Structures are given as structure tokens and as C-alpha cells.
Structure 1
Amino acid sequence: MQRFARYFPILTWAKTYDRDTATSDMVAAVIVTIMLIPQSLAYALLAGLPAEMGLYASILPLIAYAIFGTSRALSVGPVAVVSLMTVAAIGNLGLSDPAQIAMAAITLAFISGGILLAMGVLRLGFLANFLSHPVIAGFITASGLLIAASQLKHIFGVEVHGHTLPQVLADLWAHLGQTNVFTVLIGVAAVSFLFWVRKGLKPLLLSKGLTPRMADVLTKAGPVAAVVVTILVTWLFGLNAHGVKIVGEVPMGLPPLSAPSFSPDLWSQLFLSALLISVIGFVESVSVAQTLAAKKRQRIDPDQELIGLGASNVAASISGGYPVTGGFARSVVNFDAGAETPAAGAYTAIGIALAALLLTPLLYFLPNATLAATIIVAVLSLVDFSILKKAWGYSKVDFAAVAATIILTLGFGVETGVSAGVILSIALHLYKTSRPHVAEVGLVPGTQHFRNILRHEVETYPQIVTLRVDESLYFANARFLEDYVLNRIAGDKEVSHVVLMFPAVNEVDMSALETLEELNRRLEEMSIKLHLTEVKGPVMDRLKRSHFLDELTGEVFLCQYDAWIALGQRIKAGAPKGAKQEGLVAE
């Protein structure tokens, strides 16, 4: 039963579900529903899809996550970055028929769901660690700018094409003369109002005596107020007849059951985009989930999160939606509103379903400019150029990776940017670990501790070179260590012992083993013994399965101080270099 519950976390939290928990979840669901309705419509617009697909992507996926997800506060649905990646992926297909575009989006969600489910079953959640936080921060910042720029066409009421910042701005400038004044007024007013709501409405309501909970609910309802007012203004003054573009007819009813396309050509064209959406969506989602879980001393299972998100995307594909993931802003609101279990997401899905059933006819006169304003205000909170300053001050290598990710995303599009981010993250890891920190150490007087000879006053023997290796050894850095050792002893006639300290070495792969064997052989030719100290148990187990320990000219000591004492006594006694003595074996 426990193994079964591993794939169905709902079986765990449902055991203790009670009325108080249900009340907290329902209150959170009301607040998130109010926030999600305009966001769903807006993100569908961003993805280049009909507005109703945003609502459809906010119903079944939330229920699927409630069953399979492990986060108590994560809110799944359409998000800005994934919507941008969706429009870029579909844009590469060159489709013009709305039905074909919708089918491509549905298929993209299905492929992404399949990838995530496969990764979850294979327990590949650790792959998220290969995307460095600075690179992800750079990608999110660039995506926020790109999304905001792409929505300016709706604010000005002009036609703009392109998926890179230079293309968007150039096209916007070329069509600026076609600006619709009424659209600009609505867009600028909506943006200004939404920014004020974010910063000024809650303090104003609190000063009027409202409770914090009520003030929070009304603040989150700010986008809904913008939607209602602009619909009324557009309807009363007939602004759609004056060039203001509106959402138009939104189909009324629950999401229709749908099936993805299984065309091999379409799958081959969408697979890479689906893979990138899956990786970025998972990284964004699991980061939010871990942050919120830590605040309540809870834990999430990254592998099960892959299954939860995969099930959500499959659910989106069979209900007329498009790719979804966990959203940062919605999840924080869900957490702050008091959500206790994933059931809050299921209640939110019910709220969105009711909106799809009852409210869609009221959206006919909703200006696209209002939805664009909602997107702009939401994504600009993602833009954080301080990451550049932090990276520059801390590591020039990290700064170069962040800057490259931002420039490539803005200049060449979101797919190039995210691909570069993945490659740069892996390259950054390989670069840093290919040149491990190696310190020559000596004994701190009066202690049994060994420290860097360049940083501390320590005792050393001219005949002993002790090098502490501060990184696991593998194919990319093994030769670096060999060169480091040989360069250190080159020309030093007094050296008769080289000691490698391995306190931070958790792995020695086959390439590194061969390098150690070669280093041992070359040192033997110089009449220098090679010793190892503080070798960890798993590493020692591996070494015992090879011939390395049989051929080692020196010894393996349990700790560095044992080596210091044994070799020091040997030196003082004038033991010949070729004498072989037994040492202590690592645990």
C-alpha cells in the first residue's frame, strides 16, 4: 500500500483531511480563482491561442495535480514563460488555420506530459540540478522582457510579428503610425491601474479598517476589476467599432474532450520544443514547490512532481488545453491564502469550470489591451537585472553565463535562449569541476589539523608534499590533477613522498583511476612514493576492485595525521626511499 501511495500522494494527505482543512483550502481556492480567470485568458492570448483554451488548461490539469502532486501549495496552470515557449514552438510550424494551431498546442501538451511522466518513472528529477540558478534567473529575466515587449502590440492596437526583441521592437516602430488611440487609452489605463493595485490598494484598504484577509482578497481581485470596467466601457461606447480589438465570442461550457494528433511529422517538429518546455516548466515548478514547502517544514518528491506535472499536461491535452506548469505568483497567493492540501487546486478547478459555464458570454467585449496589461504587469515582476550585478561581484564565469543567456534569449528567441541555458549550465559545471581546487597543506602547530600553506602558518617536511583534493575525480579533471602533481615536484630533489588527501573526493571514475595508476608509475620512476589519506568508504570499495592498491608504491592512511606521524618518523630515522611499510586502511 505504501508503494502504491508513492505514485498517488492523495492517499497520504486525504487520511487526515477534515472540515477545518477543507475550509482553508476553499478560501484559498476562491482567491486563486479570482486571480486565475483573467490570467488564464491573458496567457492563452500570449500563446497565440483562443481565450477559452486558457480556461480549459486551468480545470482538469489542477485536478490531475491534486491526485499526483506532492506540493501542498503549488498551483498548476498556464504560465507566462511556457505560454511564450508555446507560441514560439507553434510559430515554427508556419500554420495559419486556427484549428490546426489549436491541435498543435494540444499535441504539444501531450508530448510534454509524456516526457515528464517518463522522466518521473525513471526517477530523473535530479536532472533539474544541471540547470544553474543564475542561468535560469537570466532566462526568466529575458523572457519577462520579451513577453512584455510582445504585448505592446495589443497596447497600441497594431499588428506586430517576430519572436525576438529586435524583431518585435522594429516591427512595432514600423507600424507605430497605425496606433489606435482608444486602444492606447484602455491599455495604459489598465497597466497603470494594475501597478497601483499591486503596490497601493492593500495599504489603502487596511487604513480604511478592512481586515488583512479581506484586503488581500480585494487586492487579488484587481485584474478582475480591470476586466469588468474595460468590458463595460467598450460595450457602452461601442469602442470595438472604432478599432479596439476584443476577445469576441468565447464558447460557453465545459472543456470538450479532445485527442492529440499522432502525426509523425508533427511530433518530430514539436518534440524538441516539448522537451525544452518540460525541462523549464519542471525547474520553475519544483523551485517554487520546494521554497513553499520549506516554509512549513514539508518535503516534496521531485520524481513524483515529474509525474504530477506530466499527468497535468496529459489532462490539458485531452481537455482542449495547452502546456501547463506550476506558477510562481499563483502558488505564492495560494500559500498565503492558507491552502493546506492540493485539494485547493481541485476547488480552484471547480471555480474555473463554473466561470467557463456561466461567465464566458460576458467576455465578448473584453479588450485584448486589458489582457495584455495583465500579462505585462505579471511578467515584469519576473525581471531581475540584479542577478547580473550579483554574478559579476561573485563570479565572472557565472556572469558570462547569465549575460549570454539573456542576450541569446532576447536576440534569437526563447528556444535558442533556453537551449543555450541548458548547454551553458552543463558547460559551467564541467568547466568548474575540470579545474578542481587543490591545496598544498601542512600541520597547524599544536593540533592535528592540516591547512593551506598559503593561508596559514603550518609545519611541513621538505621531503613530503601533501595535496588536498577538493573535488571528485572524473574524466574531465583527472589529467589536471596529474599535471598539478608533476609540476609541483618538478625540480624539487628533496621530495620523496607525495600524499593525496581525499576528504572531498566522493567518486573516482575509470578515467581518474587510470590517471592515478599512471601518476603512481611516473612517481615510482622518480623514486617517490604515492600515498592516499582520508579515502571515503565507497571510493575505497571501488579502488579495492582494481589493481591500483596492489601496485601503489605508498600506503593508504585512515587520516592525514597518521600519515604525518608515520612518514615523519621514517624521514627522521633516515629510512631509504624504497622501504615498504604497512599503513592504516581507510574505513
Structure 2
Amino acid sequence: MSVLTRYLPVLDWGQRYNRTTLTNDLVAAAIVTIMLIPQSLAYAMLAGLPPEIGLYASILPIIAYALFGTSRTLAVGPVAVVSLMTLAAASSVAAPGTAEFIAAALILALLSGLILIGMGVLRLGFLGNLLSHPVVSGFITASGIIIATSQLKSLLGVSASGEAMPELLHSLATNIGATNLPTLVIGISATAFLFWVRKGLKPLLIRIGMAPRPADLIAKAGPIAAVAASTLAVILLDLEAQGVKVVGTIPQSLPPFTIPLFDAGLWGQLAVPALLISIIGFVESVSVAQTLAAKRRQRIDPDQELIGLGAANVAAAFSGGYPVTGGFARSVVNYDAGAETPAAGAYTAIGILIAALFLTPLLRSLPIATLAATIIVAVLSLVDFKTPRAIWRFSKPDFAAMAATIAVTLLAGVEPGVIAGVGISLALYLWRASRPHAAIVGRVPETEHFRNVKRHDVLTDPRIVTIRIDESLTYLNARWLEEFVLEQVAEHPRIKHLILMCSAVNAIDASALESIEAINHRLLDAGVQLHLSEVKGPVMDALERSHLLHALGGTVFLSQNDAFSELLSRASQPDDAGGERDPWMARGLI
């Protein structure tokens, strides 16, 4: 049963489902459904797809995640960044709006789903850490700017194209003379209203006596008011005849059963974009899920999240959708509205299904400019200009990684930005791992603690040098270790004993072991004994399987204080007779 529960979390939370939970989930579902209808339409059009596909991508995928996901409040569906990545990937093999383009979107959903499920089965949830927080923040910020810029064409009522900022800006500048005035009025009005709703409606409602929670929920449903008002304006003023572009006829139907086209060449072309969509979607989703789970002292399983998101994308592929993931805004709304289980997502799917069957005729005259305003307001909340300043103060290398990701994404597009982000994250990790922090330490007076000689007034002896290594020793830093140790020996001409303090060393690989053996031999040739202190149990177990301990010129000490006291006593003897002592003297204490 435990194995089934791991792969089907619904078997766990479903056992405790009751009437109170049902009520809370239904209320949350109603709120999220109202929010999700215009968002789904808008994000599908952002992806270059017919608007109804956004509704289809918000039905079966949500139900699939409810069965397999572990987050109680994550709301899955179309999101801005993944929609933009879908547009970029599918545009490389077909023109937006064509049947081939839609087929490519289905393939992307299936490939992403299979990749995510495979990663989940293999328990590769840790791969989400390939992208550091500064890089993810930079990528999302740059993507938000690109998305908002790409929607200006719909606010102006002009044609424009491009996947990167230079192309978009040039295209907009070229066509700005063809701006449609009624479209511009609708777009600016809707954008201003949505910004005001986001910031000003809730305080206004509270001032007139409404409780904070209902006021917050009404404010989050603001896009529905914008949709209704702009649609009425188009109908009453006959703005469509004046050049205002509208959504048009949306089919009233259940999500169709679709089978993604199997074309080996096409799958090969879309494999890398699908992988990038999977990584970004997973990182974005799991970040939101972990944040919301922590607020309720719950936990999520990243490996099972991979399976849940994978199942959602496979469901999208077979129900006329496109790649989906957990969305920040709708998940927060779901959480604030009181959702207690993933069943709230299933009820949301039912609400979207009802909308797809019965409400789509009401959306025929919905101006595309209003959907563009919805996207702009949503994505600009993702643009973060505070974090770069904070990261600049905290870590210049992290800021450089973030800035490079932003620059590549803005100048070259989303996919190069993701690839650059992964590459920069890995390069930054490798650079740090190859140059670990190390310090010469001494004993703090009247204590048994040892601290950096450059930061504290400590007791040292010119014949004893202790190097504290603050990183695991691997092939990445093995050569650095040799050079650093020999440099310290050269700087301390009276040295007789060198101690490697290994309290922060969690592992030593074969390359590092060879380097330590080489250091030991070179020190012996120079008349210096190499000692180890505070070696952790698993590391000691590994060293016992090597020849190092038998050839070690010095001793393995349980604590740094024991090492310093003992070697200080030895060094104080005129002939340093203690140098011939058994290197296993302190081994029994490990």
C-alpha cells in the first residue's frame, strides 16, 4: 500500500476527505475557475494557439495532477513562460496557427510529460537544482519583459513578430503608424483597470466595511470584470467593424481526444525544447509548491511532483492541449481561497469544462487587447528589479550569472536563455567547487575552538600549521589542494607538522586521495609530517580502504584540539622525538 500511496497520493489525502474539506475546496475552485478562464484563453494565444486550446489544457491536465501530485494547493495549467517557450519551439518547425503548429504543441506536451515521468521514476528531482535561484529569477524577469513587450502589438492593434527584444522592438517601431485607436483605448483602459484592481480595489473594499478575505478574493477576480466590460463595449459600439480584433467563435465542445503525431524527425527537432520546457516548468512549479506547503507545515515530494506534472502534460497531449505546469498567481489564489486538497483542482477542471461547453459564445466578441492586458499585468508581477540589487550586494558571481541570463534571454530569446542559465549555473558551481574556501587556523585562547588567523586573535606555533578545508575534496579541487598546501609550507620555513582539519570534508574521491598521498610523500621528503584531524566517519571508512593511512607520515586525530596539543608537546622536545610515534595513536578514538 505504501508504494501505491507514493505514486498515487490521492490514496493518502482521500482517506481523510470530509464535508468541511469539500466545502473549502469547492469555494477555492470557484474562485480559481473565474480567474483561469481569461488566463487560459490569453496564454493559449500567447503560445500562438487557438484560444480554446487554453481551456482544453486546463481540464484533464488538472485532474491528472490531482491524482498524482503531492502539493495540496498547486494549481496546474497554462502559464506565461511555458507558453512563450512553446511558441518559440513550435515556431521553429511550423508557422503559428497552422495544423502543423498545433501538432508540434501536442508533441511538446507529450515529450515533456514523458521526460518528467521518466525523471520522477528515476528519482531525479534533485536535477531541479541545476538552475540556481539567481539564474531562475533572471530568466523569469527577462521572460516577463519579453512577454509584456510581445503583447504591445495587441494593445496597439498592429502586426509584430519576434522572439527576442531587438526583433520585437524593431517590428513594433516599424508598424506603430498603423495603430488602431479603439483597440488602443480598450487596451490601455483594461491594463490600467487591472493594475488598479491588483493594488487598489482591496483597500477600497476594506475601507467601505468588507472583510479582508472576501475583499482579496473579489480583487483577484478583477479580470472577469474587464472581460465583461470590454466585450459589452465591442458589442454595443460595434467596435469590431472599426478594426478591433476579437477572439471570434470558440467551439462549444469537450476536449477532443488527440493522438500526437509520431514523426521521428520532428520528435528529434523538438526533443531539446521539450527538455528545456520540462526543466523550467518543474523548477517554477516545485518552487511555488514548496513555498505554499511550508506555510501550512506540509511537505511535497519533488520526485513525485515530476510524475504529477508529467501525467498532467501527457493528459494535455491526448486532450488537445499544450505543455502545462504549476502557475504562481493561480496557486496563490487557490491557497488564499482555502483549498485543502488537490481535489480543488479537479473541481476547477469541472468549472472550466462547463465554461467550454456553455459559456464560449459569450466570449466571441472579447477583444484580444483585453487578453493582452491580462497577460501584461500578470507577467509584470514576475519582473523583479529588487533581487538583482540584493544579489549584487551579497555575491558578485551570482549577480554576474543573473545578469548574463537576463542579457542572453532578452537579446537571443527564451531557449538560448534557458541553455545559458543551465550552463552558467553549472559553470558557477564548478568554479566554486574548484576553488574551495580554506583557512589557516589557530586556537582561540582558553578554549578548544579553532578559528581563521586572519579574523581572530588566536594561538599558533611556527612549527605547526593547520589548514581547515571547507569543502569536500574531489577531482575538481585536487590540484588546488596540492598547490595550496605546498604554498603554505613554503611560507612557513620552520614548519614541522601540517594538519589538514577535515571537519567540513564530507567526501574524498580517488583523485583527491591521490593528491593527499602525493602531498604526504612530498612533505616527508621535506621533513614535515602530515596529520589529519576531525575526519568524519564515512570519510574515514573510505580512507581505511586505501593505502594512505599506512603511508601517512603523521597521525589521525579525533579533534583539532587534541592534534594541536599533542603536536605542540612533541615540537617542544629538543629533538622532536615524538616524530617517530605510531600514526595510529589517535585512531582508536575515531
TM-score normalised by the chain length of structure 2: 0.98
Q: CA deviation at 1:369?
A: 0.5
Contact 1:29 1:334 survives alignment (8 Å): yes
Aligned to 2:274: 274
1:60 aligns with 2:60: yes
Q: Which amino acid aligns with 2:67?
A: I
Equivalent residues in 2 for 1:285-300, closer than 5 Å? 285-300=285-300
Q: CA deviation at 1:398?
A: 1.0
Distance in 1, matches of 2:388 and 2:205, equals: 36
Aligned to 2:458: 458
2:441 alignment partner, SS class = strand
1:109 alignment partner, SS class = helix
Q: CA deviation at 1:482?
A: 1.1
Q: CA deviation at 1:475?
A: 1.2
Contact 2:138 2:406 survives alignment (8 Å): yes
Contact 1:34 1:220 survives alignment (8 Å): no
Q: Which amino acid aligns with 2:16?
A: T
Q: CA deviation at 1:52?
A: 0.4
Aligned to 1:147: 147
Aligned to 2:208: 208
Aligned to 2:138: 138
Distance in 2, matches of 1:250 and 1:309, equals: 27
Q: Which amino acid aligns with 1:513?
A: L
Distance in 2, matches of 1:336 and 1:96, equals: 36
Q: Which amino acid aligns with 2:332?
A: V
Contact 1:86 1:323 survives alignment (8 Å): yes
Q: CA deviation at 1:120?
A: 0.3
Aligned to 2:50: 50
Aligned to 2:187: 187
Contact 1:506 1:536 survives alignment (8 Å): yes
Distance in 2, matches of 1:542 and 1:576, equals: 31
1:396 aligns with 2:396: yes
**CA 453–491 in structure 1, closer or farther in 2 if over 3 Å, else same:** closer
Aligned to 1:316: 316
Aligned to 1:583: 585
- Residues 438-470 of structure 1 show CA distances to partners (whole Å, capped at 9, x for unaligned) of 110111111111111111111112111100000
Equivalent residues in 2 for 1:50-449, closer than 5 Å? 50-95=50-95, 98-449=98-449
- Residues 514-556 of structure 1 show CA distances to partners (whole Å, capped at 9, x for unaligned) of 1111111111111111111111111111111111111111111
Distance in 2, matches of 1:96 and 1:39, equals: 19
Aligned to 1:546: 546
Distance in 1, matches of 2:53 and 2:242, equals: 27
Contact 2:462 2:492 survives alignment (8 Å): no
Contact 1:60 1:316 survives alignment (8 Å): yes
- Residues 90-142 of structure 1 show CA distances to partners (whole Å, capped at 9, x for unaligned) of 11114356211111101100000000000000000011122110111111100
Q: CA deviation at 1:481?
A: 1.4
- Residues 310-338 of structure 1 show CA distances to partners (whole Å, capped at 9, x for unaligned) of 00000111110000000011111111111
Distance in 2, matches of 1:352 and 1:150, equals: 27
Q: CA deviation at 1:578?
A: 4.9
1:312 alignment partner, SS class = helix
Q: CA deviation at 1:396?
A: 1.2
Q: CA deviation at 1:200?
A: 1.1
Distance in 2, matches of 1:544 and 1:94, equals: 60
- Residues 356-394 of structure 1 show CA distances to partners (whole Å, capped at 9, x for unaligned) of 011111111111101000000000000011222112111
Q: CA deviation at 1:346?
A: 0.6
**CA 370–96 in structure 1, closer or farther in 2 if over 3 Å, else same:** closer
Contact 2:41 2:55 survives alignment (8 Å): yes
Q: CA deviation at 1:217?
A: 2.9
Contact 1:7 1:304 survives alignment (8 Å): yes
Q: CA deviation at 1:216?
A: 2.5
1:532 alignment partner, SS class = strand
Q: CA deviation at 1:238?
A: 1.8
Aligned to 2:22: 22
Distance in 1, matches of 2:94 and 2:356, equals: 30
Equivalent residues in 2 for 1:498-509, closer than 5 Å? 498-509=498-509
Distance in 2, matches of 1:221 and 1:291, equals: 23
2:580 alignment partner, SS class = coil
1:495 alignment partner, SS class = coil
Q: CA deviation at 1:493?
A: 2.9
Contact 1:108 1:270 survives alignment (8 Å): yes
Aligned to 1:12: 12
Q: Which runs of 5+ in 2 are unaligned?
A: none
Contact 1:106 1:260 survives alignment (8 Å): yes
Aligned to 1:532: 532
Distance in 2, matches of 1:286 and 1:417, equals: 20
Distance in 2, matches of 1:474 and 1:81, equals: 37
Structure 1 stretches of 4+ with a deviation exceeding 4 A read none
Contact 1:43 1:83 survives alignment (8 Å): yes
Q: Which amino acid aligns with 1:201?
A: L
**CA 188–48 in structure 1, closer or farther in 2 if over 3 Å, else same:** same
Q: CA RMSD in A?
A: 1.2
Q: CA deviation at 1:257?
A: 0.7
**CA 577–327 in structure 1, closer or farther in 2 if over 3 Å, else same:** same
Q: CA deviation at 1:491?
A: 5.3
Distance in 2, matches of 1:137 and 1:328, equals: 13
Aligned to 2:483: 483
Contact 1:527 1:578 survives alignment (8 Å): no
Contact 2:39 2:375 survives alignment (8 Å): yes
2:209 alignment partner, SS class = coil
Q: Which amino acid aligns with 1:299?
A: R
Distance in 2, matches of 1:577 and 1:480, equals: 30
Q: CA deviation at 1:214?
A: 2.9
